[in-house]
Amino acid sequence: MRIVVLSRSKTLHSTRRLMQEARALGVECLIVNPLRCQLSVGKEGPQICIMGKNLEGVDVVVPRIGTSITEYGLLVVRHFEHMGVPVVNPSDAILNSRNKFRALQTCSAKGLAVPLSVMGRSSSDLPNNMRLIGRFPMIMKLLQGAQGIGVMLGHDRSSVESVVSTMLEMDKDLVLQEFIKEASGTDVRVLVVGGKVVAAMRRNAKKGEFRANVHRGGFGERISRLPKSYERLALASAKALGLEIAGVDLLESSVGPLLLEVNSSPGFEELEKATK
């Protein structure tokens, strides 16, 4: 078997670990930078070349597409799909998860619990959007982002107005979201693979930070037994978005778990540390 992992660097922990485990199983594993893939269509059908050579004989593709290369990365993933190569996490599923509001739309339509979230394109609608959220502080987040980048906390009306108006002037859309006070500084990361929960941890923010992302200084701790309600929500969220591999982030609220977001290329270095 020949696996291609689409990743920009062999040194990234998750990419390196996938390669190690594949080789331990006797599986050939190629790390391919999606930005080096030359895509072509024509009478010969879809083809992918790397440094002038056709990439052939691929049995399965595992995309590890970063947010900064979403557009071209998804074209590469879709090209493999058109070539008939099985892809773990298809392009449409990645696209659905990559847009944070679209992911919430999709999961909410399936009856899954999400925080109250509001999106508007006009600054004149902002006062009503804030009224819908109902209280400060409130979360402001860009539609795309990872590792906590683009997620801000607005403590009052003036700070929210300032950030939102600036982002709209830069043609950046923002989602307003209720702040779950009891979950401040923590969330639960659940790793779903093939319709099963394979690992989970609680992420804790560093002192003075409301974001629990590891790249913002947070750290993970083992969850000895994930409650069934959290497991059901994580599995249903991944299924709703069509993801075979997903890092599902859940908030621990007073009314039960709430879906925060879903990552289609989840890192798992901290998860391995917390659960070993």
- How far, in Å, are 36, 39, 177, 253, 260 from residue 248 at the CA level? 30, 32, 18, 16, 8
Q: Check if CATH label 3.30.1490.20 holds for domain 117-179.
A: yes
Q: Which CATH architecture has domain 182-275?
A: 2-Layer Sandwich (3.30)
Q: Please give the pLDDT value at position 16.
A: 96
Token representation of residue 73: 């990365």
Strand 186-193 vs strand 2-6: parallel, antiparallel, or unpaired? unpaired
Residue range(s) occupied by CATH 3.40.50.20 in the chain: 2-88
Question: What CATH number has the domain spanning 2-88?
Answer: 3.40.50.20
Q: Residues 111-121: pLDDT tens digits?
A: 999 999 999 88
Does the pTM surpass 0.85? The reply is yes
What confidence tier does 215 reach under pLDDT thresholds 50, 70, 90? low
Predicted local confidence at residue 45, as pLDDT: 94
Q: How far apart are CA 136 and CA 161, in angstroms?
A: 12
pLDDT of residue 132: 96
Q: Tokens representing 20?
A: 């190690």
- Region(s) of the chain under CATH 3.30.1490.20: 117-179
Q: What is the torsion angle, in degrees rounded to the nearest 10, for the CA atoms of residue 144, residue 148, residue 154 and residue 160?
A: -20
For residue 170, pLDDT beyond 70: yes
Q: State the Cα–Cα distance between residues 64 and 9, nearest whole angstrom.
A: 10
Dihedral (Cα; 212, 113, 150, 267), 10-degree rounding: 50
177-201 b/e with 16+ CB inside 10 Å = b? Answer: bbbbeebbebbbbbbbeeeebebbb
pLDDT recorded at residue 148 = 67
CA neighbor of 96 nearest in space, from 84, 85, 104: 104
Using one digit for the tens of pLDDT, what is the confidence trace for 54-91? 999 999 999 999 888 999 999 999 999 999 999 999 99
Whole-angstrom distance, CA of residue 259 vs CA of residue 113: 6
Residue ranges, CATH 3.30.470.20, the chain: 182-275
